[in-house]
Amino acid sequence: MHRRRFLTGSALILASVIGLGACSGSPDPGSTAGSVETRTITDIEGTDVEVPAEPQRVVALSEPTLDGLLALGITPVGAVAGRGQNDIAGYLREQAGDVPLLGNVAQPNFEAVGAAGPDLILVDGTSINNNPPVIEALRAIAPVVYTGYAGGDWRINFRNTANALNMVDRGEEIIADYDTHVAEVSAQLNAFRDSTFSIVRWQGNSASLILKELPAGIALNDLGLRRPPNQDRRGRGHSEPVSLENLRDIDADYIFFGTLGGSSVNNPGAGGKTNLDGARDALEQAETVPGFTDLEAYRNGTIIPVAGDLWTSTGGPLLMNHILDDVANLAQ
């Protein structure tokens, strides 16, 4: 019932946005003018989408698509707040500049999306979670390209983003640069080949694991770093909660430890920091939880605070390169 009310409300908002555009004499945001050259591409779901050959006003409704656009040198006309945050993902804020916020990843503001007048909208499974009615509603505003699934390879998402922008060659150059970066960092890590590495998101008084399908897990795998046996696997495309009774499941020789400040994708207003300072604050909280200070990584001083918006969320090539830089610090 809640979902039905949400979709009905969204449809009414979209109708009013489009109606306002028509009354003001501005172009219908859901159409491409006859003078604009278009091309047809196929998105991750196999849907053929007619998009502008050279998009000028792009909206990114997820962190991976915003990351990908900025990596390609494209500033969108709108984006959504980062996962568990009330602003653009922290690691993208400086590069994104004053990009208008159009809601958050769980709830885009349809009226704001329409008012932005996009000629292309990029979504993926980390935002609207493959919700066909929502995609259909967005298509009333502009062509929508679905670029990737939650838990899918960031490279596939980025390649689809680059294709939507007609920048395939540039996209491949960026991926090749990442692979070069991997090789450079990996060459510095020989002393850590026998060590295991855990990636933990700490929220409030509980932990979640970042497994091998998420960006930080992919980065460690690319670098050839080992995970503990219970983490040497893929999950369901999101962090996996760990009960306090099983807190030892987060242990390893090294733990990369981040937080989204107590917030979640559905509760970005909960407050708290997602940066390195936030991780340090969360570590102090964790120390009060029974069993945490018994972890081998804690006793050995090998818990490494990291920015949660990088290590425990999602993104594209910019995020991946930041993670490589953090790992490289191990060898310093």
Tell whether 162 and 186 lie within a shared domain: no
Q: Residue 317 belongs to what domain range? A: 178-331
> And the tokens for 78?
């709108």
Same structural domain for residues 156 and 235?
no
- For residue 7, being part of any structural domain is answered with no
Query: What pLDDT does 252 receive?
Result: 98
pLDDT at 5: 43
Same domain, 185 and 130: no
Is there a domain that residue 8 lies in?
no
**184 and 161 part of one domain:** no
Give the pLDDT of residue 86: 85
pLDDT for the residue 31: 46
Sheet arrangement for strand 58-60: 101-104, 78-81, 58-60, 120-123, 144-146
Per the structure block, which two tokens stand in for 118? 């996009």
Is 114 part of a structural domain of the chain?
Answer: yes
Q: Assess whether 240 and 277 both reside in one domain.
A: yes
**Which residue among 166, 195, 211 closes a domain?**
166
Is residue 21 domain-shared with residue 145, that is, in the same domain? yes
Rounded CA separation 57/82 (Å): 20
What is the C-alpha separation between 27 and 198, in angstroms, rounded?
51
Q: Are residues 197 and 134 in the same domain?
A: no
275, part of any domain: yes
What is the per-residue pLDDT for 332? 86
The CATH number of whichever domain residue 29 belongs to comes to 3.40.50.1980
HSE-CB of 242 using CA atoms within 13 angstroms: 27
- Note the Cα 107 to chain centre separation in Å: 15
| Whole-angstrom distance, CA of residue 155 vs CA of residue 234 | 17
Cβ-based neighbour number of residue 289 at 10 Å: 15
Domain boundary among 139, 166, 193: 166
Q: How many residues does the chain have?
A: 332
Q: 323 and 212, same structural domain?
A: yes
Q: Can you give the pLDDT of all 332 residues of the chain as single tens digits?
A: 444 444 455 455 445 444 434 433 344 444 444 578 999 999 999 999 999 999 999 999 999 999 999 999 999 999 999 887 889 999 999 999 999 999 988 889 999 999 999 999 999 998 886 678 888 999 999 999 999 998 899 999 999 999 999 999 999 999 999 999 999 999 999 999 999 999 999 998 899 999 999 999 999 999 999 999 999 999 887 889 999 999 999 999 999 999 987 654 444 554 568 999 999 999 999 999 999 999 999 999 999 999 999 999 999 999 999 999 999 999 88
In a domain, 173, yes or no: no
Q: Is residue 70 domain-resident?
A: yes
Instruction: Let me know whether 206 and 288 are in one domain.
Output: yes
CA distance 220 to 191: 15
Alpha carbon separation from 122 to 24, 65, 77 (Å, rounded) = 26, 6, 12
Q: Longest C-alpha distance within the chain, in Å?
A: 67
161 lies in the same domain as 184:
no
Residue 252 lies in a domain: yes
Token readout for 70 is: 């900025």
**240-242 and 206-209 strand pairing:** antiparallel
Q: What is the pLDDT of residue 2?
A: 41
* Eight-state DSSP code of residue 150: T
The verdict on 148 and 232 lying in the same domain is no
Question: Does residue 89 lie within any of the structural domains?
Answer: yes
Total domains present in the chain: 2
H/E segment holding residue 254: strand 254-258
Regarding whether 250 and 149 lie in a shared domain, the answer is no
